[in-house]
Amino acid sequence: MDKLVVLITGASSGIGLRTATDLAKAGYTVYAGARRVEQMQPIVQAGGHALALDVTDDASMQAAVDAVMKAEGRIDVLVNNAGYGLYGAVEEIPMEAARKQVDTNIFGLARMTQLVLPHMRARKSGRIVNISSIGGTIHTPLGAWYHGTKWFVEGFTNSLRLELEDKGIHPILVAPGLIATGFSGGVSDQLQRHSMNGPYADLARGIGAAANRNGGGSDPKGVSDAIRRAIEDARPRTIYRPGRMGRLLPFLRRALPHRWFDRLMLRAIR
């Protein structure tokens, strides 16, 4: 059997870099896409391929898919990993920043999915692994834009699964918990930029301190392993939840009334 061809977005750091490198070492044919091509050398050294890819640019996305199809003739797996977290009060975050968050986390994922589906449908096989987060199930203060995008990813993937049930294509969610990828540092930077000096400063300082306390998340290998299971399992789950708090916090969110969970979140940052 030919090696599966995997296209991964957002592969220049964190989960994407680790997953692309691990899959290349495991023998997959890996095409890793990101804007910072120079940071994907570990993937190339592992036997993968680095592509320039900006998921906010339609021509860039089309070119990346076309390059893989020209080289390999198929795309067996798309891992929609590109994304980041925008944090700050809704009142204070500029709409330009909010649009960039939505463009990257929502429209980039959706457009990449659109571009690979005709090829997968023609072969009557394929897997689309969408990277969500516990942030797609729970909610935290000053994270409205980020959580909104991740809730979209979960709803989008669940609906897509119904559309593709008879076409041999499996949309799958991977929703990590707390992972040691530098995300917490990014949260602190965003809070400093948007909400550390205004009416939400006390809340921002509390969230920043909590993010730093919780910065020691699980090794990204756990997410890489979950993505590989999503690719290889004969009957994949609809959702995989690797990483610290990956199961506990979504369980508490489902088990507790909204107000109780709200108090739990506020208590954790005060």
Instruction: Tell me which residues are annotated as active site.
Output: 12, 132, 146, 150
Contact present, 12 and 50 (Cβ < 8 Å): no
Query: What's the CA gap between 250 and 121, in Å, rounded?
Result: 33
